[in-house]
Structure 1
């Protein structure tokens, strides 16, 4: 029997679940508090320059999952794109992630891969056996000099906290290479949607069983109107912050329009403390198949999110996460609701992981429905 289902949020999590359940015959209402769909992946052409802008920061699609690549490329055309990030520190420009070129340039050497491996091993802090935080992970992985130059001050600007209070897992996601590969990601499937991310989400939501309500926020009082709710908004917001606010970082973007080519690259990180911004992104370089006489850049500033800000990055500290645990316990007392996505699960998720989790959540819901089982409040640990 078709069910009446509500989805809070029209980003990738909500859109994928909406599409999957609509195709299964259910009636879906998607509530989106913003004026647009696609969440923080929202992209649109700049009126003055016609450059496709990533309005909430750069998004480069990358995945190691063939089925996810097949899924997104069926939604729209993807163009080849490799993210080759540059980093400014101590008055020099380097390649990120740290690779053989970075190492040789930084230490003014001409080492082979094996020589560089031995050299970095000699730089590593031998007194750290099991890193307990970001700082220790960096000191063990690359040594003090590279840590100070590329990560310490950037991390403080990005997170507003000392690196020794952040989990080691943040740095573990970044590769260290002993060759000249400057591809920022290791994944075999990488690209950029030719018509932007908004067009992909539009296609997902373009179904007769889906009704999208923009400028409309879902709240707990509306839950009784639906057989089930998938909530991709902030976990603490659903409970009206009754236990307090979970910490998030937000971003301020300062947009500038210039003639020609501003920095010659899509993304340049500013790793030391001489600039307050963390990076500059030049958006026409995200679409190298297009030609534009003018250019648009965004300088990116990170700060603590207030109640009036868009939350971007959940702050998971290496020590106390008791408030999150209390909210998880509160959520597990609920029925007929599943918390999904980056905000609903309070996890930093890349786009491919978000889509994969949404597909798995949809499949599990349909399986539970068919077997008369209870759908879990969280489908991912």
Structure 2
């Protein structure tokens, strides 16, 4: 019998790759350092309230990819869910993304769409040609008043630096709507898994060719027992951080419970810089088809990621880009390992993109296995 395939990480990348390989006849062993599957989209019922909690912060599924939508619904029924985000700024509550209601409320006007469009254009900074920084991007498209009210303070808290030091790409697709559409996403398919993401991942992993070992750390010497390794852990961690650590932001959650409805929505951002947390999430609103008297809420704080913290968002500024290039070069010399997912490629990935890349990676690797060809270190360039 050929050696089994090892997958490091039981999140979406590892689960989808593992299931594709298993269905193709490969024996797959999956390990994860945590005590649960599903990675950062892990969900669990709160015993006191019965609320389905997004343990590592909210994960909202949205996509235009027909196949990915069919794939997740094959393993779990997705219930309708529309993400309607609110933000508190200077003592007032507004809807996000910036839309016609936000503009009229903020400026105390009753603009029609064409009037609002002309007004916002008059607020923008015409001296900015091609935006280079986050701040440039915001000032060019919405002007200083909306930028300072909704973006500046929140961004400082989220990224720990001035928006003038962040690249424009972070805000490249700044959504400003001249209608009353307050749906945060514009994708064709949006929803939530009926029984949570962890149950969905468990169903993906339910195959006779898949075995799972939790609370198990990966060391490079493990690779010799397997025909190939798919590694979804931190790229720098694979090399024991020998060249230094790639920069991440991490999140701290302050959980509290409330009798009744705390804020009337799932996500309330706090745009003011003097409010330490970035947002409050109320988890029962992520499952609007359920009914719960009590509520579970998280205050969310962003900070620099330390060695013992959970990495969430890759920073990818100039210093990290240079270090990333060194680790990518080292990875290309490794034999028998493919780096996948958010941490393995040091990229921010939405769930649908994660699944799409995992499907594509698995399929190309299955073909390579069949043809006796070596597998690449990266199926997606970091």
TM-score tier (shorter): over 0.9
- Per-residue deviation, 1:173: 4.0
How far apart are the structure 2 equivalents of 1:212 and 1:19? Answer: 12
Alignment of 1:272 onto 2:294: no
- Per-residue deviation, 1:372: 2.9
* Other-structure match for 2:18: 18
Count of residue pairs the alignment pairs up: 381
DSSP-derived class of the 1:321 partner: helix
- Per-residue deviation, 1:320: 6.0
* Other-structure match for 1:312: 312
- Per-residue CA shift, 1:53-111, capped at 9, x if unaligned? 00000111100111111110111111100000000011110000011111111111111
Alignment of 1:362 onto 2:362: yes
- CA contact 1:11–1:39 (8 Å) conserved in 2: yes
- CA contact 2:157–2:276 (8 Å) conserved in 1: yes
C-alpha distance 29-320 of structure 1, shift in aligned 2 (>3 A)? closer
Deviates more, 1:204-213 or 1:350-359: 204-213
- Unmatched tracts of structure 2, length 5 or more: none
* Other-structure match for 2:79: 79
- Per-residue CA shift, 1:283-325, capped at 9, x if unaligned? 1111111111111110000111111111111111267621111
Deviates more, 1:76-85 or 1:316-325: 316-325
How far apart are the structure 1 equivalents of 2:337 and 2:297? Answer: 40
- CA contact 2:133–2:163 (8 Å) conserved in 1: yes
* Other-structure match for 2:37: 37
State the TM-score, normalizing by the size of structure 1: 0.98
- Per-residue deviation, 1:27: 1.0
* Other-structure match for 2:145: 145
How far apart are the structure 2 equivalents of 1:7 and 1:34? Answer: 14
* Other-structure match for 1:281: 281
Q: How does 1:65-214 map to 2 (within 5 A)?
A: 65-214=65-214
How far apart are the structure 1 equivalents of 2:320 and 2:271? Answer: 27
- Per-residue CA shift, 1:319-355, capped at 9, x if unaligned? 7621111111111111211111100000000000000
- CA contact 2:124–2:143 (8 Å) conserved in 1: yes
How far apart are the structure 2 equivalents of 1:290 and 1:320? Answer: 43
- CA contact 1:165–1:317 (8 Å) conserved in 2: no
How far apart are the structure 1 equivalents of 2:319 and 2:112? Answer: 39
DSSP-derived class of the 2:191 partner: strand
- Give the ranges of 4+ consecutive aligned residues of structure 1 lying more than 2 Å apart after TM superposition: 370-374
How far apart are the structure 1 equivalents of 2:173 and 2:8? Answer: 29
DSSP-derived class of the 1:151 partner: helix
- Unmatched tracts of structure 1, length 5 or more: none
* Other-structure match for 2:380: 380
How far apart are the structure 1 equivalents of 2:66 and 2:169? Answer: 25
